[in-house]
Amino acid sequence: MAVTRQAIWFTGPFSVEVRAETLPTPQAGQVLVRTVISAISSGTEKLLYRGEWPPDLPVDETIPALAGRFSYPLRYGYAVVGQVVAAGEGVAKAWLGRLVFSFQPHVSFFVADLADVWPVPDGMSAETAVFLPYMETAVSFLMDGQPMIGEQVAVLGQGVIGLLTTALLTQFPLATLVTLDQYPMRRQWSKKLGATISLDPMEIKIAEQVRAILQTGDSYAGADLVYELSGNPAALDMAIEITGYNGRIVVGSWYGRHPVTLHLGGRFHREHIQLISSQVSHIAPQWNGRWNKHRRLQVAWQMLTHIQPEQFITHRFSLHDAAQAYQSLVQAPQETLQIIFEYQTE
């Protein structure tokens, strides 16, 4: 009788199910990992759950477990922490029992090459380690935006990645750090992390309020640097509105199928505002001489230890309650920061 594992499958818009699969056997150079915890990526998985993934876009070309074109049904997820329980030929016995991170879909067991698992640092909990890809993304945003001492910075969107970006920015000697999010719980977290002020983007004349806060003189009015991390295409217009002369806007949101309509006939060209794309799958070309994914991940591990993002976990579900977990993601965003799946020993 074949040994089985449990996996979440997205079977169509607003539809997920847990399926039993045959458990693979580790081959030479591979390990078998029993999952302890996995995290839902709220932005990406919300698009997938809603059926808003661009049909012509690969699921993820840089993660072996997610290779292939998009089509339902499919497995997804990329933040998994588990314990090595078996090893293939040529794998040192020291790997057995190790807690490791891997970019894998939501599944109770998985087999991976050693190159695709990262040992969790000694003393770090699984709840902290599962935030590794989100912290790597935040580190990547800072590398692409290059904040400088004394700058005025704004972050639009205070979901988990927005909050991690805010937490990293507070370590810089900035002049001002303004954040925006429509949900009070997220604004409270933002201020707790060290934002100068956190505002509701739905307030009347909010752009004027933000520009007034960022007014440090006629020559330097507006933000030097803005991060658009809200996932809302309309927020790009606000980002342009609050950015000052020759300011930079890092677009970290991924909008899926949502069209983006920008008003570029006003200040954008005359004030030489820069739009910078940022995506964590690759190191930006200007860093390739001295940086690679391994070095960036090492920085992310260090920042996880410093910030302890497990405090952002608001919901815990078993794998078999996946439908309820994704319903919470889309129906109660005001109450949701990080949703995780906890796995029972099988």
pLDDT digits 0-9 by tens, 29-59: 999 999 999 999 988 888 888 887 766 665 5
User: Does 284 have pLDDT greater than 80?
Assistant: yes
Instruction: Answer whether residue 299 is part of any domain.
Output: no
Q: Is the dihedral of CA 309, 313, 319, 323 positive or negative?
A: negative
> Is 294 part of any domain?
no
What is the pLDDT, as a whole number, of residue 346? 47
Residue 154 domain-assigned (yes or no): yes
Give domain status of residue 302, yes or no. no
Residue 10 has a pLDDT of 93
pLDDT value for 269: 86
Convert the pLDDT of each residue in 198-257 to its tens digit.
999 999 889 888 988 887 666 678 999 999 998 888 888 899 999 999 999 999 877 766
Lowest mean pLDDT among 24-28, 91-95, 157-161, 260-264: 260-264
Same domain, yes or no, for 175 and 190?
yes
Range list of β-strands (E), the chain: 4-12, 15-22, 30-39, 80-87, 99-102, 109-113, 118-119, 152-156, 176-180, 197-199, 223-228, 243-251, 274-277, 313-318, 338-342
Cβ neighbours of residue 118 closer than 8 Å, sequence gap 6 or more: 100, 101, 102, 132, 297
Q: What is the pLDDT of residues 153-180, one digit of tens each?
A: 999 999 999 999 999 999 999 999 999 9
Q: Which helix (H) or strand (E) holds 159?
A: none
Q: Report the DSSP pairing between strands 152-156 and 223-228.
A: parallel
Query: What digits encode the pLDDT tens for the residues 324-334?
Result: 999 998 888 89
Q: Which of 119, 36, 110 is nearest to 301 (CA)?
A: 119
CATH code of the domain in which 106 resides: 3.90.180.10
- 191 and 252 in a single domain? The answer is yes
- For residue 39, how far is the Cα from the chain centroid? 10
- pLDDT value of position 51: 84
Domain co-membership, 268 together with 142: yes
Q: Are residues 263 and 336 in the same domain?
A: no
Tell me which amino acid residue 129 is: A
User: What residues contact residue 269 under an 8 Å CB cut-off, 6+ apart?
Assistant: none
Which residues constitute the domain of residue 124?
4-130+310-342
Q: Are residues 169 and 263 in the same domain?
A: yes
Closest by CA position to 82, among listed 297, 311, 345: 345
Question: Is residue 81 situated within a structural domain?
Answer: yes
Task: Examine residue 300 and state whether it is found in any structural domain, yes or no.
Answer: no
Q: What pLDDT shows up at residue 267?
A: 82
| CA angle (112 as vertex; 160, 45 as ends), nearest 5 | 30
Query: What is the pLDDT, as a whole number, of residue 64?
Result: 59
DSSP 46-107: HHHHHT-S-TTSBS-TT-GGG-SB--SSB-----EEEEEEEE-TT--GGGTT-EEEE---SB
CATH number of the CATH domain containing 148: 3.40.50.720
Interatomic CA distance for residues 57 and 65, integer angstroms: 16
Task: Confirm whether 337 is domain-assigned.
Answer: yes
Q: How many domains does the chain have?
A: 2
Residues 46, 8: one domain? Answer: yes
pLDDT confidence tier of residue 1, bands split at 50, 70 and 90? very low
Task: Say if residue 50 is in the same domain as residue 114.
Answer: yes
Residues 250 and 319 in one domain: no
Kindly report the number of other CB atoms within 10 A of residue 57's CB atom: 13
When mean pLDDT is compared across 65-74, 146-155, 242-251, the lowest value belongs to: 65-74
> Within this chain, do residues 39 and 114 fall inside the same structural domain, yes or no?
yes
Same-domain status, 238 and 334: no
Judgement on whether residues 106 and 212 belong to the same structural domain of the protein: no
Note whether 332 and 242 are same-domain residues.
Answer: no
Higher-pLDDT residue of 3 and 194 is: 194
pTM for the structure as a whole: 0.91
Domain assignment present for residue 218? The answer is yes
